[in-house]
């Protein structure tokens, strides 16, 4: 029996997932770590945490599963997108990684638009310059930390730093690379025009690969540390959202993946580059060779519920937190929640956007607030769907929902009613790590294509149908939700004044 390992280098933990050659999950191990917010709007992490967590999770995976390292056919990588990792000529980390949810780079985004023109930037990269992306982070370091910038020789993303430690190779997949906004989206390569305009040397950037391609082999040093065998193939994989889509089988047009994790993501595969002329929807390469995808991202989805629980009812189990709100009617008796706790990306690329409860009255109880949080996130995800439809998403055959928030039957029902579409779950909730494993299996020939791997390994396990009555209630409330952000937008930046 051959086995595959998928490694997911996320914001809060690194997970190692063991999959057999039939696609069955045999074991998982995870090691958690913190991230830092040293200043308002900042979010940073020590790349060494990812590497130590990778070592620990792989050792535990092999030890607890009893699988011999000679039976591991390949390792696939995925992880948090957009994080900036800067290395010097010796491969040493120069500063903490600036993460995807860091919001410090508004001025640098303006600089990028000025250098290229917003329209031309979107034509090349498929995206506007947003604070979460990698390119403005590079320019921020150039402007604010010139002594560090002078030492830079390599630019990587989080999972690709782990790849470097595993193999000694500087490499990246095209799906994650597209999220740097330094790529020519149509041609799936680095863009000389963008790099020249921004003053970023092309030799700082790693080789680009399609998701299932082998990028290198496990080094002797990494083998000693991880317990894997020397020479194990390491596969390109993908950024967490593209790998997540593979993990739920969203690899063909018409199947949409909805991820209800810390952030909320709506992901639709396309057979050609499709993008919004204003850059309000992300357009990236897919981890599937020859395919692209549209993606809407809200920054605080299940993260909103976690904040709410931790702030108002710490140590309460989520099931216990949500149960009382099941008796609250759809619409929460007039209460709204804006889920912009860490700024927003889609449809409002606004680092200053704030969260809010709106419509509070004396009749509202704690369960009302809880349900309002679930509904506010659902409305935010509907914003993503509506933008994608207006940008060219022609048909949706099925919405496949995953992520920690998708474990809640109540939240799935609210989403189905707000989106007015049936939701389904699939036989694995492992998401990105599982997708990385399937890409690795294709890379070493266990399946011939990513599409074949998904069709053989992934099955629908449950469905949530639309409640016609609640669907109508939410249809009436959604336009009100849409008015709230524009009404408050001008006040948000002033709220940070001390």
Query: pLDDT averaged over the chain?
Result: 95
- Structural domains in the chain, sorted by start: 3-248 (3.30.420.40)
| pLDDT score, position 349 | 81
CA proximity to 176, closest of 287, 280, 267: 287
SS (H, E, C) the chain: CCEEEEEEECCCEEEEEEEECCCCEEEEEEEECCCECCCCCCCEECHHHHHHHHHHHHHHHHHHHCCCHHHEEEEEEEECCCCEEEECCCCCECCCEECCCCCCCHHHHHHHHHHHCHHHHHHHHCCCCCCCCHHHHHHHHHHHCHHHHCCCCEEECHHHHHHHHHHCCCEEEHHHHHCCCCEECCCCEECHHHHHHHCCCHHHCCEEECCCCEEEECCHHHHHHHCCCCCCEEEEEEEHHHHHHHHHCCCCCCEEEEEECCCEEEEEEECCCCCCCCCCCEEEECCCCCCEEEEEEECCCHHHHHHHHHHHCCCCCHHHHHHHHHHCCCCHHHCEEECCECEECCCCCECCCCCEEECCCCCCCHHHHHHHHHHHHHHHHHHHHHHHHHHCCCCCCEEEEECHHHHCHHHHHHHHHHHCCCEEEECCCCCHHHHHHHHHHHHCCCCCCHHHHHHHHCCEEEEECCCHHHHHHHHHHHHHHHHHHHHHHHHCHHHHCC
* 491 pLDDT tier (thresholds 50, 70, 90): very high
| pLDDT score, position 392 | 81
Rounded to whole angstroms, the Cα distance separating 347 from 353 reads 11
Distance of CA 473 to the CA centre of its chain: 31
| pLDDT score, position 261 | 86
Cβ neighbours around 313 below 10 Å, total: 13
Q: What is the pTM of this model?
A: 0.88
* 403 pLDDT tier (thresholds 50, 70, 90): confident
Instruction: Note the pLDDT tens digit of each residue in 329-344.
Output: 999 999 999 999 988 9
| pLDDT score, position 395 | 78
Instruction: Note the pLDDT tens digit of each residue in 186-238.
Output: 999 999 999 999 999 999 999 999 999 999 999 999 999 999 999 999 999 99
240 flagged as catalytic:
yes
Instruction: Note the pLDDT tens digit of each residue in 82-134.
Output: 999 999 999 999 999 999 989 899 999 999 999 999 999 999 999 999 998 99
Reply yes or no on whether the pLDDT at 153 is more than 70. Answer: yes
* 390 pLDDT tier (thresholds 50, 70, 90): confident
Beta strands 3-9; 72-79: pairing state: parallel
Rounded to whole angstroms, the Cα distance separating 391 from 159 reads 30
Reply yes or no on whether the pLDDT at 394 is more than 80. Answer: no
Q: What is the mean pLDDT of residues 349-378?
A: 96
* 286 pLDDT tier (thresholds 50, 70, 90): very high
List all residues 6 or more positions away from 114 whose beta carbon is below 8 Å from its beta carbon.
Answer: none
Reply yes or no on whether the pLDDT at 423 is more than 90. Answer: yes
Q: How far apart are the first and last CA of the chain?
A: 62
Instruction: Note the pLDDT tens digit of each residue in 50-89.
Output: 999 999 999 999 999 999 999 999 999 999 999 999 999 9
Rounded to whole angstroms, the Cα distance separating 426 from 25 reads 13
* 498 pLDDT tier (thresholds 50, 70, 90): low
* 428 pLDDT tier (thresholds 50, 70, 90): confident
Q: Per the residue annotation, which of 111, 128, 176, 240 is the catalytic one?
A: 240
Rounded to whole angstroms, the Cα distance separating 16 from 4 reads 10
Angle between helices 106-116 and 134-144 (to 10 degrees): 100
Rounded to whole angstroms, the Cα distance separating 28 from 13 reads 12
| pLDDT score, position 278 | 87
Rounded to whole angstroms, the Cα distance separating 418 from 379 reads 7
Reply yes or no on whether the pLDDT at 40 is more than 90. Answer: no
| pLDDT score, position 18 | 98
Reply yes or no on whether the pLDDT at 429 is more than 90. Answer: no
Distance of CA 314 to the CA centre of its chain: 26
């Amino acid at each position: 029996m051959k086995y595959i390992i998928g490694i997911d280098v996320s914001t809060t933990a690194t997970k190692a997932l063991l999959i057999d050659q039939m696609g069955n999950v045999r074991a998982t191990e995870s090691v958690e770590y913190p991230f830092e917010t040293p200043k308002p709007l900042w979010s940073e992490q020590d790349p060494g945490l990812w590497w130590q967590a990778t070592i620990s999770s792989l050792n535990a995976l092999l030890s607890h599963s009893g699988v011999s390292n000679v039976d591991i056919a390949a390792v696939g990588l995925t992880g948090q997108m957009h994080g900036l990792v800067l290395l010097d000529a010796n491969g040493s980390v120069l500063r903490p990684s600036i993460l995807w949810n860091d919001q410090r780079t508004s001025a640098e985004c303006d600089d990028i638009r000025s250098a290229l023109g917003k329209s031309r930037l979107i034509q090349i990269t498929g995206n506007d310059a947003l604070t979460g992306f990698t390119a403005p982070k590079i320019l921020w370091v150039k402007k604010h930390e010139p002594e560090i910038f002078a030492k830079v020789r390599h630019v990587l993303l989080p999972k690709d730093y782990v790849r470097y430690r595993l193999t000694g190779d500087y490499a990246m997949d095209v799906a994650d690379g597209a999220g740097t906004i330094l790529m020519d989206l149509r041609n799936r390569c680095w863009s000389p025009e963008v790099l020249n305009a921004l003053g970023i040397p092309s030799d700082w950037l790693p080789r680009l690969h399609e998701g299932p391609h082998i990028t290198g082999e496990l080094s002797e040093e990494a083998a000693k540390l991880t317990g894997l065998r020397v020479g194990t193939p390491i596969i390109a994989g993908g950024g967490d959202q593209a790998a997540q889509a593979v993990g739920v089988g969203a690899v063909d047009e018409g199947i949409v993946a909805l991820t209800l994790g810390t952030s909320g993501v709506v992901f639709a595969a396309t057979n050609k580059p499709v993008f919004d002329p204003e850059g309000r929807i992300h357009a990236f390469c897919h981890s599937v060779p020859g395919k692209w995808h549209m993606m809407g991202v809200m920054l605080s989805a299940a993260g909103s519920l976690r904040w709410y629980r931790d702030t108002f009812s710490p140590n309460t189990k989520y099931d216990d937190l949500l149960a009382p709100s099941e008796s609250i009617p759809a619409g929460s008796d007039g209460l709204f929640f804006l889920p912009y706790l860490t700024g927003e990306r889609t449809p409002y690329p606004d680092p200053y956007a704030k969260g809010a409860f709106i419509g509070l009255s004396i009749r509202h109880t704690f369960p009302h607030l809880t349900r309002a949080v679930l509904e506010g996130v659902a409305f935010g995800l509907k914003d993503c769907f509506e933008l994608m439809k207006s940008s060219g998403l022609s048909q949706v055959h099925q919405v496949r929902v995953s992520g920690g928030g998708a474990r809640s039957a109540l939240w799935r029902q609210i989403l189905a009613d707000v989106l007015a579409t049936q939701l389904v779950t699939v036989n694995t909730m492992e998401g990105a790590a599982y997708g990385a494993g399937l890409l690795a299996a294709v890379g070493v020939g266990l399946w011939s294509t990513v599409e074949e791997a998904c069709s053989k390994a992934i099955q629908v396990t449950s469905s949530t149908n639309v409640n016609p009555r609640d669907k109508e209630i939410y249809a009436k409330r959604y336009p009100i939700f849409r008015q709230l952000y524009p009404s408050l937008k001008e006040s948000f930046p002033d709220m940070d004044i001390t």
